[in-house]
Amino acid sequence: MMSLPIVNSRRFTNLVMLLGSAWLFSGCAVRPHPLETTELQQQLQLDREAMFARNDKADHPLTLPEAIARAMRFNLEQRVKELEELQAKKQISVSSLDMFPKLFASGGYTSRSNEGASTSKSSLVPSSSLDRDRNTGDLTFSWNILDLGVSYFNARQEANRFLIARERQRKVVRQLVQEVRGKFWRAAAAQQLRQDIQDTLKQADNALQNARQSEKEAVRNPMEALQYQQSLFDQISQLEVIAQELETARVELASIVNLPPGAQLALELPKDGQNRVPTWSMPMERMEETAFLFNADLRESVLQTRIAVTETHKAVAKLLPGVSFNLGTQYDSNSYLVEHAWQEAGARVSFNIFNLLTGPSQLSLAHSGLDVANARRLAVRMAVLTQLHLANHQFAFAKHNFQRLTMRHDVSQRIRQQTANRQQQDAGSILDLVTAQTREIVDRGRTYLALAEMHNALGRLQATLGLDMDPGDPSRMDLPALTARIASSLELLSTGEGGAKAAP
């Protein structure tokens, strides 16, 4: 009869505890928790406070330099790019730490269920040189030369990625300045035209009511009355369309400078701002050279080429043999040992034999990445050159269009004045006055829109060139100082000669 083995009670207890722990953790598996309304409301309140927490109150009319300064300080997208740049900078420090040697510390406790005894051929009597319960510990200093080289190349790549993040952040600032300039003048048009549009609409509505009353009373020919009303509706439609088009710019400008969409936003216009044309005089040869030196996209492509070159160096380093040095202190509480603590030192060389097979493919992949980076850089250079010439033509056309519309608006103003004089002398109809006023308002609105497009086109040209306003560090300056510095930079940038220095 075969006897059953005796089950050790301690092993049985450990097994039961292990199975119980597994069952417990399986019951605590992570389950999806749908969003609760209270959670969303709490997050909404926190986000709403955070969105406008850093803002200064806009309790006075904003000038263009102050609007740009507020966008630089408070725009949320700008904040994101600043944090991304800061994160990339911290990543350099983290990657540099990988170049340091490793220092491992460990400690443990070991317990056996029985004696670690053994026998030998010369003696059948069991003997043991190991305690059933013992403590161990070690502190080992390790340095791998291959890991050092790879970590060095990783740190260089992270440094270039930080520079890329900085270029992207500067690009966002340039685009932000461009958008603020365009939206500012569109919002200025809405502010200047709002009262005139309301007055003219009121006149047109009154004339429309009188025309309907005349039609009912058959005072005029029915066809003439209907055509009269139709003409009034045409003028009303033109006024409402331009009012709607311009009013949206106020909301967009408030969003860019990070003010609540419903905030009362008043603008202060320069006295000569409407008629002033930027005196941009940089020749095309110099613009091409400037763009090739300072354009953000082109500088990023050069940095990407650096990363690709470093990747080839890293691929070569990974194929080299690994050499590691170890130096440490060991401890063991085993009572059978003569010395419980000792020091160890050693060196080790290792090499992956399969690198002989995979090495050529890895090098080929790294070199192909470099070829792609070089080809992309040439494509970006060509795109920047094309973009520069297009931006220059667009600015020239926008400037010509603004000058032409300014002259047209001057004619509309004189026609409106003549029509108003005739109306006062009862020599003209209310329809003629409404039509003249509508044309003058429409022409004035188009002039403002052309002014906004001219500044937008100039900002696009400067952004393509990679010119910075050089405001310093906006986060370390108060709003008045930043506004004054931006005003000075705007004055210099508008000429194209002696302007603010491009970002290094």
Please choose, from the candidates 81, 85, 97, the residue with its C-alpha nearest in 3D space to the C-alpha of residue 163: 85
Instruction: Please compute the mean of the pLDDT values over residues 384-394 and round it to a whole number.
Output: 93
71, 172 contact by CB (below 8 A): no
The CATH number fitting domain 58-98+137-320+328-493, selected from 1.20.1600.10, 2.40.37.20, 2.30.110.10, 1.20.120.450? 1.20.1600.10
Number of neighbours of residue 139 by Cβ within 10 angstroms: 15
What whole-number distance in Å separates Cα of residue 47 and Cα of residue 171?
A: 26
User: What residue spans define the domains of the chain?
Assistant: 58-98+137-320+328-493
What whole-number distance in Å separates Cα of residue 371 and Cα of residue 384?
A: 20
Tell if the pTM clears 0.75, that is, is over it. no
DSSP label at residue 503: P
What whole-number distance in Å separates Cα of residue 97 and Cα of residue 353?
A: 29
What confidence category does residue 379 fall into, taking pLDDT thresholds of 50, 70 and 90? very high
What whole-number distance in Å separates Cα of residue 434 and Cα of residue 419?
A: 9
What whole-number distance in Å separates Cα of residue 346 and Cα of residue 350?
A: 13
Token pair belonging to 174: 């340039």
Longest CA–CA separation in the chain, Å? 139
Whether pLDDT at 382 is above 90: yes
Instruction: Please compute the mean of the pLDDT values over residues 394-411 and round it to a whole number.
Output: 91
Residue 425 one-letter amino acid:
Q
The single residue listed with the structure tokens 């003209």 is 428
Instruction: Please compute the mean of the pLDDT values over residues 208-222 and round it to a whole number.
Output: 73
Give the three-class secondary structure for 227: helix
Which pLDDT belongs to residue 388?
93
User: What is the DSSP code string of 162-174?
Assistant: HHHHHHHHHHHHH
Whether pLDDT at 503 is above 50: no
Please choose, from the candidates 89, 181, 282, 174, the residue with its C-alpha nearest in 3D space to the C-alpha of residue 503: 174
Which pLDDT belongs to residue 58?
65
In tens, the pLDDT along 456-473 reads: 888 888 888 888 776 666
Residue 125 one-letter amino acid:
V
The runs of H, that is alpha helices, within 257-295 are 284-294
469, 177 contact by CB (below 8 A): yes
Which pLDDT belongs to residue 393?
94
Which range is least confidently modeled, 10-19, 188-197, 315-324? 10-19
Q: How far is CA 169 from CA 163, 305, 310, in A?
A: 10, 19, 24
What whole-number distance in Å separates Cα of residue 371 and Cα of residue 385?
A: 21
